[in-house]
Every structure is written in structure tokens, then in C-alpha cells.
């Protein structure tokens, strides 16, 4: 049911080494070797190809609203492909690795979502800029994806050490998520932008980051080891854009409901960036719960839990107490047969990713509301699975105060 990109592109594609999560975290200090879709030998120095090119400027200020590529200032030497066309020989401590990691992470996210989307996803700005410019480092505590560029800054970890975002897969995947949503769901015409559209954008980008990270074998193993199969336990799956073992920028498994956020009714120009991120969290939380719902359904299909046990697990979803009998039972099952849990999590990942991409194709960006997002997701799910999951999905949205306009 699920697919492995590295297995698919092994031999024909190009090897890179990527950190599945911030290398600040001990389990991800060593990058994992992955295969990207770029045909072997097709990548030029940078790395670069027909779609994008990576640069590491020596001293560049971040692009502002009126700026646009190309950047023509001084840059560090580009990363060179190895004699066999791969980039996995570039050492993580070399200056060129930032550009390699950023290029590889973006290509990886595109590979994943082009499968879910059913084909190539062109950049939304391709009429103005033929290629995406990747700026691997600017002295700035942020990252952004604009017309023709994606730019990564840096931030301090808990010990005060500056950590470049170009090495943080979650942050890069979130930024590429914005590009994917612009390209697939579209950009609202003037006068039709809603607060919900902006919040949906942040939420969808977080979901791109979560689903994409789950394509790393070491990340799936790490999640299962930490949670012992109980995905609601607080762990790295719930954290996006992590800077240390205890600090994160956004949280996917959250208890926020739309009615809790009083400023929801305000027009987009009266909200701060932080408020828009927060407004997206009930939507992200609903999709996180739906992903766990798919995971439980796959555990039932694989014979790991009975339908009656699955019903009990659903009841304790979101309950803080981790010591319920049902949760203890699922952890015991995991220790008996971790391979089945690995399979269930990969299946759930692809069920969620496929339905998300399909629902974005259905959305209309003008005057968008969360009810449109949930409706398009329900329709996409029904296309693939009939009515099997409809009620549970509807409940996940309803608990968050999101009602599908059918």
C-alpha cells in the first residue's frame, strides 16, 4: 500500500545525504543516505538542474518584498558532483553541505508530493522566473519561500549555538509546502483573500513537513521506538521545525479548537504572523487526528488489534493519561511485532498524503474557508475509500469546530 522513494529511484536516481530532522537532535546527527529522482549524472555544480540552483552567498541580506532573483553577489564555491554524479560524498562539516542539504531536501519533498499529486508540480511563478533560486544561508532568524527563491536563515539552539535552517528538513519542507499549495490550490485573486486561506496555507505546509519526514526510515523507527506504537505520546512527530530536544516552532498534535481563537473573524491584514500560524493549528490538529485514525484502521486491517480494541483506542485519543489499559496493550503489541507497526505508519502516511494532495487540487482559493478544506478532503477520501472513514473524519473536524460545507 505504501511506497518507498529510495527503493524506486535506487540505481537510476542520485544519492544525497539528508538529516531527517534537525541535527541538533542526537538521533539525527548522522545524515541518512537517500535516492532522489534526479537521473544519475543530470545534476550540475551547485547543485543545480533545470528547475532550481543552490547558492551559498558570502554575505547577503535577506530578500525583501521588492527584491527578486537572481542574486549576483559573491558566493562560496559550488558543491561539485562526484565522478558518478552523486552528491553523497560532500562532508556534512564542509561549507558546501548547506547547499547540498537544501537542494536535496527540496527535491525530496517534490518527489514525495509529485507522487501524491499524480505528476510534476510546476512552480507557481514559472512564467516570471524559470528556476527556483536556493539561498542556503543569510544572517536572519527566519526562512521564506517567495517568487523565484527559497531562502534559509538560522537560529540559536538552547545552548546559544547558531543552527542554519538549511540543515533542518522540517523547516525546508514547510517552505516548499507553501510553494506546493500555491501551485496546486492556487492564489486568490485580489479582493478574495481570507484569513482562513492564510491559516490553511500554514497548516498545509506543516502537514507537508510531517508527511515528508515520515518518508525517512530512521524517522519512522525513531517515532515508533519513542512512542512504542502510541502515536499520541508527545514526540518528534508532533514537533515541526525543532531547534532542540525541548523547543519547537509549531506543534501538530495540539488541543486547539477554532472557537478558542477569538481573532478568527478578523480580516487578514489585522492579524500578526503568529496569530495566522495559531489559527492554522486546529486544522493541522484535525489532520493529525485523521492520520492517527488511518494508522489505527491499518492496525486493524493487519490483524494487530481487533475492531473492538480499535474502538477503545479511539476513545482514549487525546486523553492525557498515557497509562490506560488500551495504550499499555498497544505498546505491548508493538514490542512483539514492530514491523507491522512500521507498515501501518507508512500506509497511514500515504493515505493522508494522497488525500491531502487530491483535496488541494479541488480547492478554489477565492473566499476560502475551513469548511471548504474539510469538504474537499471528505470528497477526496470518499473517491478512494467510499464511506468507510467518512464518519470518523467528520468527527475529527467537528471536534475542532470545523464543519464541512457539503
Nearest-5° angle of CA 176, CA 177, CA 181? 120
Q: Residue 195 or residue 227: which is nearer to Zn ion going by CB? A: 195
Q: Name the site residues for Zn ion (rule: CB under 5 A).
A: 202, 205
Instruction: Give min distance, CB of 283 to Zn ion, in A.
Output: 13
Q: Residue 21 or residue 205: which is nearer to Zn ion going by CB? A: 205
Give bridge partners of residue 139 from the DSSP assignment: none
Give 155's contacts (C-beta < 8 A, 6+ positions apart): 141, 162, 163, 165, 243
Strand 149-152 with 132-135, pairing = parallel
Instruction: Give min distance, CB of 199 to Zn ion, in A.
Output: 10
Give bridge partners of residue 6 from the DSSP assignment: none
Spatial separation of the C-alpha atoms in residues 395 and 387, rounded to whole Å? 14
Q: Residue 202 or residue 326: which is nearer to Zn ion going by CB? A: 202
Nearest-CA neighbor of 400 among 288, 237, 285?
Answer: 285
Instruction: Give min distance, CB of 328 to Zn ion, in A.
Output: 38
Instruction: Give min distance, CB of 174 to Zn ion, in A.
Output: 6
Spatial separation of the C-alpha atoms in residues 406 and 22, rounded to whole Å? 40
Instruction: Give min distance, CB of 62 to Zn ion, in A.
Output: 15
The radius of gyration of the chain's CA atoms, rounded to the nearest angstrom, is 21
* DSSP annotation of 227: H
User: Which H or E element spans position 23?
Assistant: none
Q: Residue 81 or residue 179: which is nearer to Zn ion going by CB? A: 179
Q: Residue 188 or residue 338: which is nearer to Zn ion going by CB? A: 188
Instruction: Give min distance, CB of 205 to Zn ion, in A.
Output: 5
Instruction: Give min distance, CB of 47 to Zn ion, in A.
Output: 24
Instruction: Give min distance, CB of 284 to Zn ion, in A.
Output: 12
CA dist list (Å): 143 to 88, 253, 364: 25, 23, 27
Nearest-CA neighbor of 19 among 32, 10, 9?
Answer: 32
Cβ pair 78, 103 in contact under 8 A = no
Q: Residue 182 or residue 341: which is nearer to Zn ion going by CB? A: 182
Nearest-CA neighbor of 292 among 341, 357, 225?
Answer: 341
Cβ pair 181, 201 in contact under 8 A = yes
Instruction: Give min distance, CB of 169 to Zn ion, in A.
Output: 15
Q: Residue 36 or residue 110: which is nearer to Zn ion going by CB? A: 110
User: Which H or E element spans position 36?
Assistant: strand 32-36
Q: Residue 183 or residue 351: which is nearer to Zn ion going by CB? A: 183
Q: Residue 9 or residue 149: which is nearer to Zn ion going by CB? A: 149
Cβ pair 140, 62 in contact under 8 A = yes
Amino acid at each position: 500500500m505504501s511506497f518507498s522513494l529510495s527503493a524506486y529511484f535506487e540505481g537510476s536516481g542520485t544519492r544525497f545525504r539528508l538529516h531527517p530532522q534537525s541535527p541538533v537532535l542526537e538521533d539525527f546527527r548522522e545524515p541518512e543516505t537517500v535516492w532522489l529522482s534526479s537521473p544519475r549524472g543530470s545534476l550540475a555544480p551547485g547543485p543545480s538542474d533545470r528547475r532550481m540552483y543552490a547558492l551559498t552567498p558570502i554575505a547577503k541580506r535577506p530578500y525583501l518584498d521588492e527584491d527578486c532573483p537572481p542574486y549576483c553577489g559573491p558566493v562560496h564555491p559550488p558543491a561539485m558532483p562526484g565522478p558518478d554524479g552523486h552528491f553523497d560524498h560532500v562532508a556534512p562539516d564542509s561549507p558546501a553541505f548547506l547547499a547540498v542539504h537544501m537542494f536535496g531536501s527540496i527535491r525530496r519533498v517534490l518527489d514525495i508530493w509529485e507522487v501524491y499529486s499524480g505528476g510534476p508540480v510546476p512552480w507557481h511563478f514559472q512564467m516570471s522566473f524559470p528556476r527556483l533560486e536556493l539561498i542556503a544561508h543569510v544572517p536572519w532568524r527566519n526562512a521564506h519561500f517567495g517568487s523565484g527563491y527559497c531562502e534559509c536563515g538560522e537560529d540559536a539552539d538552547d545552548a546559544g549555538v547558531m543552527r542554519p535552517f538549511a540543515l533542518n528538513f522540517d523547516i525546508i519542507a514547510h517552505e516548499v509546502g507553501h510553494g506546493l499549495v500555491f501551485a496546486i490550490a492556487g492564489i486568490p485573486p485580489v479582493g478574495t483573500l481570507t484569513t482562513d486561506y492564510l491559516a490553511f496555507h500554514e497548516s498545509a505546509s506543516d502537514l507537508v513537513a510531517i508527511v515528508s519526514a515520515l518518508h525517512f526510515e530512521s524517522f519512522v523507527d525513531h517515532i515508533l521506538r519513542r512512542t512504542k506504537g502510541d502515536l499520541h505520546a508527545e514526540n518528534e512527530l508532533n514537533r515541526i521545525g525543532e531547534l532542540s530536544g525541548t523547543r519547537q516552532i509549531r506543534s501538530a498534535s495540539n488541543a486547539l479548537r477554532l472557537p478558542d481563537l477569538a481573532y478568527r473573524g478578523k480580516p487578514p491584514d489585522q492579524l500578526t504572523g503568529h496569530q495566522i500560524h495559531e489559527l492554522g493549528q486546529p486544522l493541522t490538529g484535525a489532520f493529525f487526528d485523521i492520520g492517527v485514525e488511518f494508522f489505527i484502521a491499518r492496525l486493524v486491517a493487519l490483524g494487530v488489534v481487533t475492531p473492538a480494541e480499535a474502538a477503545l483506542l479511539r476513545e482514549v485519543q487525546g486523553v492525557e493519561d498515557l497509562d490506560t489499559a488500551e495504550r499499555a496493550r498497544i505498546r505491548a503489541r508493538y514490542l512483539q511485532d514492530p514491523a507491522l507497526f512500521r507498515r501501518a505508519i507508512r500506509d497511514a502516511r500515504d493515505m493522508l498524503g494522497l488525500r491531502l494532495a487530491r483535496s488541494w487540487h479541488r480547492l478554489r482559493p477565492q473566499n476560502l474557508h475551513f469548511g471548504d478544506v474539510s469538504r474537499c478532503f471528505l470528497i477526496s477520501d470518499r473517491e478512494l475509500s467510499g464511506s468507510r472513514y467518512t464518519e470518523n473524519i467528520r468527527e475529527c473536524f467537528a471536534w475542532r469546530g470545523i464543519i464541512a460545507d457539503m
